[in-house]
Every structure is written in structure tokens, then in C-alpha cells.
Structure 1
Amino acid sequence: MGSITNLTAADGHRFEAYIAEPKGAPKGGIVVIQEIFGINGHIRAVCDGYAADGYYCVAPGLFDRVERGVYLGYTGDDVARGRDLRGKMTWDACMQDVGTAVAAASSAGRVGTVGYCYGGGVTWMAGATIAGLSAAVGYYGGPWAELADRAPLCPSLLHFGARDSMIPASLADQMKAKHPTITTHVYDADHGFNCDQRGVYDATAATIARRRTLGFFEACL
């Protein structure tokens, strides 16, 4: 189990971050990027899982720029609130906080990032913006279409759901055509398939995607 601490961005903004450490020497660092629900129990569990696999994990509380201590569930009201908070975020401020988290994780060696939904888009932007990243992995990233012209600076892996009505699987081919070096995978699953707290959770797709993500980090970190 990890713990909540505070990090300070370059502009002086202090924000919460969940940090989970591995037993023994770390294989590298991973910055875990939240969905629109903050660094809730699911995201903390994701961090704990990667820490158990040997990585030093940092999950920055990105919504602290708008409202501190956001830990939402997956009900309709929480979805609406999360979308409202996301709409108040700016990319510049977001990248400052992700960059701070990357610097914190770099004590463990090379750093990769993995993000889910909103975090999938943040991960893509970070991979195209933050020079200190060695790998970027995104799951069903909400902002991918609007960010598709951004070129990644590091090896990048994207996971799509074939039944995702929010992020069409056809975007996988489009992004691959724009950026031939990236890796994409499409699963017979819906949006949010990795989250075991959602009704759309797909254990098979989540297991395969996680195995591929770990293999990607093993190669890059």
C-alpha cells in the first residue's frame, strides 16, 4: 500500500500525489494518470499493482488545480462532476504537474507513464511534451482525436476498445498512420474496460492489455 504526499510544481502549486513503492530496488518509475474521477481508490490500486511488479509509482492529483481532494466514484452524478472539473483544466497547468510527477519518479531510474480515459489523453500529451519520459501508455484516451497531430517524443502504446462509443476504434488506424512508430491494440471491449469498479470491466481485455503494458515498460525502462 502506498500513501498520499504533496508535490510542488514549478509555478509553486502544491498538489496531492499517491506514491506506491516496490519491495527492493525499483525497475524504474511509472507516473499513473487518473481518469476524470481523481486519484480515487481504483487509481491507487493501479499504482499498488505496478509497485508490486517492481516500479516506483506516482499518481498526481491533477484536479487539485481546480478543487483539492477529488476522489469520485462511477455513478452518474460523479461522472457529471468529473466532466465539469476536467473542463476547467488547462493543458499547460496539467503538464506542469505531470512533469513534477515525472521528476519525482525519476529517482527510480527511467520513467514511463500510463493513463486511462482523460489520463490517456494526458499521457499522449506528456509523451509529446515532456522530454524526460522514456515510454507512454494510454488506455481509451478521451482527448486523442484532438491531440492526434502531436508527435510523441518517446515510444508510445495505445489501447482501444472496439465497442467504445466515445473513442472509435478506427482512431487506432488513423493515429498509426500519422505516427508509424507507435503501437496500437484493439480489444473486444467497451470504454473503461480496465476498471474493475465499472460495469463495463472486461477481465480478459484488462489482463491482456496489462501484460502488454508491462512488457512495453520492461523494454523501455
Structure 2
Amino acid sequence: MGAMYSVATFEGDAHFQAYVAQPDGSPKAAIIVIQEIFGINPGIRQKCDGWAAKGYLAVAPDLFWRIKPGIELDADVEAELQEAFGYFGQYDPTDGVKDIEATIRTIRAGIGGLPGVAKVGAVGYCLGGKLAYMVAARTDIDASVGYYGVMIDQMLGESHAIANPLLLHIPTADHLVGPEAQAAVHAGLGDHPRVTLHDYEGLDHGFAAEHGARRNEAGAQLADGRTEAFFAEHLA
């Protein structure tokens, strides 16, 4: 079980909360878990706890804090799904990059009085998958992973700035990222020396969710195994 810690914004003029799960012993590295549009809900906390069990310091910042701090929504409840889409429509992902960069800085300095961790990776889902791409292009994150990231096809002009390894998981039947967008991502990133792309035939958006109807067990295990190997290589 983790706990909530405070993180100062990049500008230092406010604070937001982050869920932090600590490993037993010194962490081998840190991983920022970037939320979907459902907030720091039980699934995101479970992902953090899982990384902590593997020896990483895991941190999930509350990225919707400017709109409504502390939301926890369920994708399988229609009213909560629509509420989440409402937040997504209000959200500025540039704020997310700033908050993730502030989280990187805080982790390296020592979050909540914990010892600093030099190597920091990030893994994000849906909105978080988009932010994982943006963070790879705009910050010095050591390695990033995006699951079913949305709108990446609209930001391919930033790909030249990706300086550290990036892994993207792409379900081919993603109802939020259609075939044309997927083709654009492959065309724009397929030969990038720091980018790895994996397709998941027939799987839909959200297939690696920890809970609920969206999860595909075989697909989630395959993608998560690839993510674990990626971080083991690039955060060593």
C-alpha cells in the first residue's frame, strides 16, 4: 500500500498530490505512472503497487488537480465515463507535461523526504499514453512507455526531440485511435532510432486496465512483460 505525498508545481507556486508506492529496500529506479482520464483510481494505484513489488519507486501524480483534485472514476459506469470525458475536454496536456516534469524533479531530489532517485521512467495509459509521448519529446525522462496513447498522430512533428527510449503499445482495434491515426504513427515513428512500436491485433483501447470489462488478460500480460523488460534495460 502506498500513501499520498505533496509535489510542488514546476513554477513552485502551488502543490498537487501524488500516490507513492515504495519498494522494500532501495529502489532500482523510479517510475511515474501517468493516469487515464479516470484519475488516481484503484487501477492506477494497483499499477503503482505492482511496480513497487518489482523494486521500483512508483509515483502517480494527480494530473486533474487544477479541475477537480482527487477524482476516482470507473470506466465501466456510464455516468462516470461521461464525467471523465468532460474532464478530458477541459484538460490542457501542456499542464500535464509541466506537472510530470515537476514530479521528475521532485523524485530526483527526494519526494516527501525519501532519498532521491536518479533514474526515472514513465508509463501512461490513454491520455497518459499521449503524455508519455509528450514527456519523451519535451523532458529528460530516462525512458517512457505509452499504452493506447491518443492523438499522437497529431504531434509527430515533435519526434525529432525524443532523446531517450520510448515504447508505444498500439491495439489495432482501438475505437478511439483509428486505422489512419495508427498508420500515421507507424509512418512517423517506425524508423525512429529511439522508438519501439508493438501492435496488438484485434485488441481495443484499455486492454491493459487492471480492472473491469476493458481488460484483455493475454494482451495485458504480453504488453506488461514488454514494458517490464524495457524498463529493466533502460533504467538500469
Q: TM-score range by the shorter chain?
A: over 0.9
Contact 1:124/1:144, CA 8 A, preserved across alignment: yes
Q: What's the Cα RMSD here?
A: 1.5
Deviations 1:9-50 (A, max 9, x none): 133221110000111111101010000000111000000001
Between the aligned partners of 1:96 and 1:164, the Cα distance in structure 2 is: 28
Contact 1:33/1:59, CA 8 A, preserved across alignment: yes
Counterpart in the other structure of 1:28: 29
Q: Which runs of 4+ in 1 moved over 2 A?
A: 168-172, 174-181
Between the aligned partners of 2:91 and 2:218, the Cα distance in structure 1 is: 33
Identity between Structure 1 and Structure 2 (%): 35
- Long gaps (5+) in structure 2: 109-115
Counterpart in the other structure of 2:126: 117
Counterpart in the other structure of 1:212: 226
Residues 129 and 78 of structure 1: CA distance in aligned 2, closer, same or farther (over 3 Å): same
Between the aligned partners of 2:153 and 2:14, the Cα distance in structure 1 is: 29
TM-score w.r.t. the length of structure 2 is: 0.88
Between the aligned partners of 2:33 and 2:210, the Cα distance in structure 1 is: 16
Between the aligned partners of 1:194 and 1:136, the Cα distance in structure 2 is: 16
Between the aligned partners of 2:142 and 2:106, the Cα distance in structure 1 is: 14
Between the aligned partners of 2:85 and 2:136, the Cα distance in structure 1 is: 23
Counterpart in the other structure of 1:136: 144
How many residues align? The count is 220
1:158 alignment partner, SS class: strand
Matches within 5 A, 1:1-221: 1-11=1-11, 12-74=13-75, 75-106=77-108, 107-131=116-140, 133-151=141-159, 152-168=162-178, 169-177=182-190, 179-188=192-201, 189-221=203-235
Between the aligned partners of 2:174 and 2:165, the Cα distance in structure 1 is: 24
- For residue 171 of structure 2, what is the amino acid of its counterpart? G
- Long gaps (5+) in structure 1: none
1:119 alignment partner, SS class: helix
Between the aligned partners of 1:68 and 1:197, the Cα distance in structure 2 is: 22
